C-alpha cells in the first residue's frame, strides 16, 4: 500500500457522496487509502480490495508469529532436532 498523501487522500463525506465512482478509481489507481471525514473527524477508510486482502494476510502472519513467540516464552517450544524429526516422520508416511 502506498503512503497516504494528506492533501489528496482525506475527503469529507459530502464529497464522497457526490463522486464515489471517481474516488473508487483514485483508490484503485493510486493504491493509497482514502480517509473519509464527517464533521471534521475521520470516520472511515476506503481501500482497494486487493490491498485489504494483503493487509489481512500480513495480520494473520504477524498474529501467528506473536503466538509462536508467546509459546516459546512459556516453554511450549521444542528443539530444532525434535522438530526436524517430527516433520520427517510426517513426510515419510
Mean pLDDT of the chain: 92
| pTM summary value | 0.67
Q: Provide the pLDDT for residue 2.
A: 81
pLDDT of residue 42: 94
Question: Class of the 10-47 domain?
Answer: alpha beta
Residues of the chain with pLDDT under 50: none
Rounded Cα gap, residues 79 and 82, in angstroms: 5
**Which pLDDT score, from 0 to 100, does residue 11 have?**
93
pLDDT in tens, 41-65: 999 999 999 999 999 999 999 999 9
Amino acid at each position: 500500500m502506498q503512503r497516504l498523501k494528506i492533501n489528496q487522500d482525506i475527503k469529507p463525506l459530502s464529497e464522497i457522496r457526490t463522486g464515489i465512482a471517481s474516488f473508487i478509481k483514485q483508490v484503485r489507481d493510486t493504491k493509497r487509502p482514502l480517509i473519509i471525514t464527517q464533521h471534521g473527524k475521520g470516520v472511515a477508510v476506503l481501500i482497494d480490495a486487493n490491498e485489504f486482502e494483503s493487509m489481512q494476510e500480513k495480520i494473520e502472519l504477524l498474529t501467528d508469529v506473536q503466538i509462536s513467540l508467546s509459546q516459546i516464552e512459556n516453554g511450549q517450544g521444542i528443539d530444532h532436532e525434535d522438530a526436524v524429526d517430527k516433520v520427517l516422520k510426517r513426510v515419510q508416511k
